[in-house]
Copies of this chain bind each other. A is one copy, B any other.
Amino acid sequence: MIPSKKSIEEASERISPYIHKTPVISSERINNLFETSIFFKCENLQKAGAFKTRGAVNAVFSLSDEECINGVATHSSGNHAQALARAAKLRGIDSYIVMPEDSSKVKIEAVKGYGGKITFCKPNLESRETTLNEVIAKTKAIEIHPYNNYKIICGQATAAKEFYHEIKNLEIIIAPVGGGGLLSGTALSTSYFSPDTKVIAAEPVQADDAYKSFYTKEYYPSINPQTIADGLKTSLGSLCFPIILKHVYQIITVKEKTIINVMKLFWESTKLIIEPSSAVCLAAIAENKQEFKNKKIGIIISGGNVDLEALPWNQNNTNLNI
């Protein structure tokens, strides 16, 4: 059943001892540049460096002792992996993490740092799922899906809930969309806590499965997308899609080049490190300045786990159309 207002409030309570109440910041330079008023909810400063901590902690601490006696397992390109490993460590149980072999080094190291047991797989959905099934068959661990899980969605929803508590009367809230956990959580919290705010999603044009699914109302899978925004390569979750269809106002796709430029602008202006997946929201404003002019906008900065030795503006991104 689609999470209720009460279940999101309970999630907030449940996770509060284990997460940061992240700060909201704004940048004069960015506001001047886009002639608008943007507030950034800094989940890059969240524990384990991303909003994923909220969902993972909510899911792990919602399990009964019997359910999680053999640990938890998942597949993830990075942030959910770290978040789940950390949540499992806090609960005192094992975590088994299936990661694509092209995951960034910093994310792999972080999972190891939290005691997660990693199994590598090929970087595609089929290999992720097959490998995870093998790991679960062997360990009897319980699967915690990165986004297609209502407890995860409830946890991610707490970011927008906090945001609305701190900043009143946002006209628009923008979240990135990959699997849809953050976006569907944000959409639900908006409907419960700030129903006049429009929910807009941002997505790389080179990974536009959510855009296609949203506007055709038919599920499109994401097939081997090439984007710098590595957190947004996954297909929409089946539990997330109906919530998104019902509560999201618009999905905007953005170019790779804009993502990179805006990411650099954000680093320079705020001195805060954000991932490419977090830059897509500001990129949506950069590519549609007129639409967002003079609006009061909230953006959820999803995470800050970046491989500092492979920054996009120092690379020849030969396989990206930028």
Closest-CB distance, A1 to chain B (whole angstroms): 36
Shortest CB–CB separation between residue A90 and chain B, in angstroms?
13
Surface stretch bound by B, among A148-156, A218-226, A265-273: A265-273
Closest CB-CB distance, A157 to chain B, in whole Å?
23
Given contacts A268-B106, A271-B49, contact A309 B313 (CB under 8 A): yes
Within the assembled complex, what's the spacing in Å between the Cα atoms of A49 and B309? 23
Classify the secondary structure of A's interface with B: helix
A137 close to B (CB within 8 Å): no
Residues facing B in A77-130 (CB within 8 A) are 106, 113
A308 touches B304 (CB 8 A): no
- Give the Cβ gap from A30 to chain B, nearest Cβ, in Å: 13
Supposing A45-B271, A49-B271, A271-B45 touch, asked if A313 and B308 sit within 8 A by C-beta, the answer is: yes
* Chain B residue at minimal CB-CB distance from A47: B28
Assess the A267–B308 pair: CB atoms within 8 A. Answer: yes
Q: Does A314 contact B (CB under 8 A)?
A: yes
A212 on the B face (CB < 8 A):
no
A311 at the interface (CB under 8 A from B): yes
Task: Tell me if A264 is interfacial: C-beta within 8 Å of chain B.
Answer: yes
A residues whose Cβ falls under 8 Å from a Cβ of B: 23, 29, 44-45, 49, 106, 113, 264, 267-268, 270-274, 304, 308-309, 311, 313-314
Additional A-B contacts beyond A106-B268, A271-B272 (15; CB < 8 A) = A45-B270, A49-B271, A264-B308, A267-B273, A267-B308, A271-B304, A272-B272, A272-B273, A273-B273, A308-B311, A308-B313, A309-B313, A311-B311, A311-B314, A314-B314
